[in-house]
Amino acid sequence: MSGRTYQARVQEWTTACFPPSAQGDVSERAHRFLEEAIELAQASNCSRDEALALVDYVFSRQEGEAFQETGGVLVTLAALCNASNVDMERAGEQELSRNWSRIDKIRAKQASKPQDSALPQ
């Protein structure tokens, strides 16, 4: 592994995988992050009803600031990984490596998804 940060290496992957319009689209990136976060919650025994209740709760509150909320995501992800006995860094490295091998499949999925939709396909 090089001395480049994980975030920088993910940027290299997104640059190789996605057109600039998708790579730099904050809304698109937020939708994909939310999808992955929901999948992790589901894999951690969070029910659909619990997830929907949390969506209602969050959207009933004042909007946060992206930098602070990013910190909150990282802290709570690390805490969830600790509780679940998941090596967060190893999981991230493994997924990034896997994604490099799936660029064609990811591009095809990106190309087939509906425009202006939060849904991935």
Q: How many CB atoms lie within 10 A of CB 28?
A: 19
Question: Percent of the chain at pLDDT above 90?
Answer: 74
Checking if the pLDDT of 114 tops 90, the result is: no
CA distances 107 to 99, 100, 117, Å, are 11, 11, 17
Checking if the pLDDT of 44 tops 80, the result is: yes
pLDDT, position 22:
82
What pLDDT, in 10s, does the model give residues 8-17?
Answer: 999 999 999 9
**Cα–Cα distance between 19 and 39 in angstroms, integer?**
25
Question: Percent of the chain at pLDDT above 70?
Answer: 93
pLDDT, position 19:
86
Q: How far apart are the first and last CA of the chain?
A: 33
- Who wins on pLDDT, 120 or 18? 18
pLDDT, position 56:
97
**CB-based burial, 39-49: b 16+ in 10 Å, e otherwise:** ebbeeeeeeee
pLDDT, position 45:
97
